Structures are given as C-alpha cells and as structure tokens.
Structure 1
Amino acid sequence: MIQNLGFSELLLILLVGLLLFGPKKLPELGRSLGNALRNFKEEMNRTIKEEKEEKRD
C-alpha cells in the first residue's frame, strides 16, 4: 500500500497533518509513531524467536 504513494501524495499527507496538528505538535506525533512501530517490531521479533525456540524443544 505504501509502495503506491508518490511524492505528491506524501506531500499532501504532510500538509494535512500540518494543518490538523500544527508545526509544534507534528514532530512529537512523528516520534510517538516511530516509537510505537519500533516497539511493535521488537515484540513481533521476540514472539517469532520464542516460537522457533518452542519448536526446537
């Protein structure tokens, strides 16, 4: 889905976000989203690793 987004679509999303949240809040929202995605990825990797270890035992 993200692969189909071009530069103009990303620019439009950024502008809408800027209008909705303002320039001061936008970086904070970006950091929060990045942290959430990183935590999700770490948990998924941990779960996959645990499943592989259970299959070996």
Structure 2
Amino acid sequence: MLAFLALVVVLLAFDAETRIALYITPVLALAAFLGYLASRRGRPAAEAAPAVERTPR
C-alpha cells in the first residue's frame, strides 16, 4: 500500500500541472487534522470513544 502511494507521489512530481497537488496536500491534511481536533474539543474521553465491552472466553 505504501509503495503504491509512493509511486503516485513520484508520478505527480513528474508533471508540472499535477505538481501543485504535492504542494497542496500537506495543507489539506493539516486542515483536516485541525478540524478533527476541533470537533473533539470539549468532550470527555468517555464520550469521544465508547468503551469496548470485553466478554470472557
């Protein structure tokens, strides 16, 4: 999977028209991460991730 993503990045770098995607991707990833953090802000940990119920074997 990572090899495929690396191949895509290399192929995007070859063409000047698609190289802009390489410049914009980190900005979009950072914006998505900050949005994720903002959506979780103010919630208690128990609300953010429900507990997994374990059953004995």
TM-score (structure 2 length as normaliser)? 0.50
User: Equivalent pairs: percent with the same residue?
Assistant: 7
Q: Look up the match of 1:50.
A: 42
User: 1:18-50, CA deviations, whole angstroms, 9 ceiling, x for partnerless residues?
Assistant: 45xx14641x21121111100000010011113
The residue type paired with residue 26 of structure 2 is G
Match of 2:2 among 1, 5, 16: 5
Unaligned runs of 5+ in 1: none
- The ranges of structure 1 where at least 4 consecutive aligned residues each deviate by more than 4 angstroms after the TM superposition are none
Unaligned runs of 5+ in 2: 48-57
How many residues are aligned here? 43
Map residues 6-45 of structure 1 onto 2, 5 A cutoff: 6=3, 9=4, 10=6, 12-13=7-8, 14-15=10-11, 17-19=12-14, 22-23=15-16, 25-26=18-19, 28-45=20-37
